[in-house]
Amino acid sequence: MPTKYDLAIIGSGGGAFAAAIRATTLGKSVVMIERGTPGGTCVNTGCVPSKALIAAAEARHVAADASPRFPGIATTAEQLDMPTLIAGKQSLVESLRGEKYAEVADSYGWQMRQGDAAFAGTTDAPTLEVAAADGTVEAIEAQHYLVATGSRPWAPPIDGLDEAGYLTSTTAMELDEVPESLLVLGGGYVALEQAQLFARLGSRVTVLARSRLASKEEPEVSRALQQVFADEAIRVVRRALPTRVSREAETGQVLVTADVSGGAQEFRTDQVLVALGRRPVTDRLNLDAVGVNTGGFGEVLVSDRMQSSNPQIWAAGDVTGHPEFVYVAAHHGTLVAENAFAEADRAVDYARLPRVTFTSPAIGAVGMTEKEIVASGIRCDCRVLPLHHVPRALVNRDTRGFIKIVVNADTSEILGMTAVAKDAGELAAAGSTCSARRSPRSPTRGPLPDHGGRHTDRRQGLHHRPFNAVMLRVKAWPEPANERQRLKRKSKLHRIP
Ligand SMILES: Cc1cc2nc3c(=O)[nH]c(=O)nc-3n(C[C@H](O)[C@H](O)[C@H](O)COP(=O)(O)OP(=O)(O)OC[C@H]3O[C@@H](n4cnc5c(N)ncnc54)[C@H](O)[C@@H]3O)c2cc1C
């Protein structure tokens, strides 16, 4: 006889933990199944190791950069000890895994199983089979199931790539030697963070991007980042499509041929890092057998309540193909528990979701971009404030970047904010509350956003807090000439938030 629970969760990442915490606090019995390292991507191979290494590389960069920036300061960056850096990162990962996951699971008291889970049974009566490493198989039955199996790095079918070998963000952050040269394929957030990380550790980095850097964000972001990368000797090649890869036996180097703006170019490098996106992990889950529909990338198709085509089976996090952030996964998890057990009938809404890339300066954005506003037929009052107008940036002696705010010109509603700045992540979080309000000219307040519940806010520490020190002087913003007079009357100091 299978053991019966209220909720059976496949996976143990941010989505799984948030759901388990909420369901347990609602008095439900929960079992969580994990086949790999408990804690999932964020703590083991994603946010935590990447931000730990980025912080270390930033410290080294600041040491090398401070003397020319600040008169009277003399610093230098000494030799790097990569094995010690990687060991330090790993011990941080392990301690956070213990503190934020293992101890949390213990304190809430849900059941944990180590094994590979797959659905069995039928659409009307789904069950789970959990195969442990010792070959035993346990049958589990639940009132509701949550698929929170995450995503894995994806590599396109480029001729010779598999044979030549390549790094992913996971394996790159395990290297015990910094490659002399590194070719990064991709222009999204993982590619950008890893490119700058390795450049700051001493690699000669080239980025091959299909379109522009951070192509889903405002075009000003790509331009600002490209300048930042150029200043740090990171070469960016845009409109580049890799077509062939081979590794030279004599030198061990990799040759990558790419179609660049229509012509073939060759790149020689010590290592290739493929950061072209991730794909949901749903193979071998046997979802068809229990009536769960998946999309073209294998993602579990869900309603805005996070329910799959089988009303007993829900999904959370990267496996849904929704924005890949741990706070999104955690938000999904909490929402699933409340919808399944508390009849909350809550829907996901990404209108005010902060998006942060931890380059330095960082990219922070929330809400719509100018292109999206124009495409939806709204008249945009779009302003860009270069950081050289911001005293705080001037005193930091770092004026790289900008802040852009896009406003519905007819209603004065703030619809989006994008920044490239040292604390752009904090600005995006502040913007997420601000975009719910009217612009300073019409300060009507809307509801505050919900960022993913208790797990994200109190335990995971990845929630972006508002940056109170920023003062934006609206009258200093470049403005369309025909609006100058109107704004002059209304201009005032606006504090976020
Ligand atoms: C390099 C990198 C940096 C990142 N940085 C950030 C950041 O700074 N901020 C941020 O918000 N997000 C960041 N992310 C994204 C974030 O890590 C993910 O969005 C988040 O961890 C997804 O959580 P999840 O719960 O969906 O799945 P995961 O955390 O991936 O958990 C899924 C788990 O399911 C298990 N599993 C899969 N199939 C089965 C099965 N059949 N049986 C049992 N177990 C199974 C897997 O082993 C895994 O442990 C980063 C990601 C990467 C790769």
Ligand 1 pocket, residue 306 CB under 6 Å: no
Ligand 1 pocket, residue 36 CB under 6 Å: yes
At residue 431 the predicted structure's pLDDT band, cuts being 50, 70 and 90, is confident
Which ligand 1 atom sits closest to the C-alpha of 153? 53
42: CA distance to ligand 1 center in Å?
5
pLDDT at position 435 is: 53
Tokens standing for residue 167: 């790094």
Q: Identify any residues that bridge with 131 across adjacent strands, giving them in sequence order.
A: 116, 137
More confident of the two residues 440 and 355: 355
Which ligand 1 atom sits closest to the C-alpha of 130? 42
CA distance 178 to 199: 9
At residue 100 the predicted structure's pLDDT band, cuts being 50, 70 and 90, is confident
Q: Which residue's CA is minimally distant from atom 48 of ligand 1?
A: 40
Identity (one letter) of the amino acid at 346?
R
Above 70 in pLDDT, residue 455? no
- Which among 129, 149, 193, 285 is the best mutation to test ligand 1's pocket, defined by most ligand atoms within 8 Å of the CB? 149
Range in 186-200, 233-247, 465-479 with the lowest mean pLDDT: 465-479
CB 11 within 8 A of CB 40: yes
Above 50 in pLDDT, residue 40? yes
CB 16 within 8 A of CB 333: yes
Above 80 in pLDDT, residue 180? yes
Ligand 1 pocket, residue 150 CB under 6 Å: yes
Ligand 1 pocket, residue 42 CB under 6 Å: yes
451: CA distance to ligand 1 center in Å?
18
Q: Which residue's CA is minimally distant from atom 45 of ligand 1?
A: 11
pLDDT at position 441 is: 41
Give the tens place of pLDDT for each residue, 288-328.
999 999 999 999 999 999 999 999 999 999 999 999 999 99
Range in 53-67, 101-115, 294-308, 442-456 with the lowest mean pLDDT: 442-456
CB under 8 Å to 45, separation ≥6 — which residues? 169, 170, 173
Q: Which residue's CA is minimally distant from atom 26 of ligand 1?
A: 317
When the pLDDT of each residue in the chain is averaged and rounded to a whole number, the result is 88
pLDDT at position 463 is: 36
CA distance 68 to 3: 66
Give the tens place of pLDDT for each residue, 254-287.
999 999 999 999 999 999 999 999 999 999 999 9
Percentage of residues in the chain having pLDDT higher than 70: 87
Ligand 1 pocket, residue 128 CB under 6 Å: no
Tokens standing for residue 306: 């996070």
Q: Which residue's CA is minimally distant from atom 5 of ligand 1?
A: 47
CA distance 128 to 32: 11
- Which among 43, 44, 47 is the best mutation to test ligand 1's pocket, defined by most ligand atoms within 8 Å of the CB? 47
- Which among 31, 41, 53 is the best mutation to test ligand 1's pocket, defined by most ligand atoms within 8 Å of the CB? 41
Mean pLDDT value of segment 17-36? 98
Which ligand 1 atom sits closest to the C-alpha of 317? 26
Integer CA distances (angstroms), 138 to 33, 40, 109, 126, 130, in order: 11, 22, 20, 14, 5
Ligand 1 pocket, residue 407 CB under 6 Å: no
Closest to 400 measured CA to CA, from 239, 179, 185, 221 = 221
CB 113 within 8 A of CB 33: yes
Closest to 98 measured CA to CA, from 10, 148, 55, 37 = 37
Give the tens place of pLDDT for each residue, 320-355.
999 999 999 999 999 999 999 999 999 999 988 999
Ligand 1 pocket, residue 324 CB under 6 Å: yes
Above 90 in pLDDT, residue 451? no
Ligand 1 pocket, residue 364 CB under 6 Å: no
13: CA distance to ligand 1 center in Å?
6
pLDDT at position 1 is: 62
Collapsed DSSP state (helix, strand, coil) of residue 169: helix
Give the tens place of pLDDT for each residue, 123-162.
999 999 999 999 999 999 999 999 999 999 999 999 999 9
CA distance 478 to 320: 40
Give the tens place of pLDDT for each residue, 399-423.
999 999 999 999 999 999 999 999 8
Which ligand 1 atom sits closest to the C-alpha of 39? 49
pLDDT at position 68 is: 86
Give the tens place of pLDDT for each residue, 220-263.
999 999 999 999 999 999 999 999 999 999 999 999 999 999 99
Ligand 1 pocket, residue 327 CB under 6 Å: yes
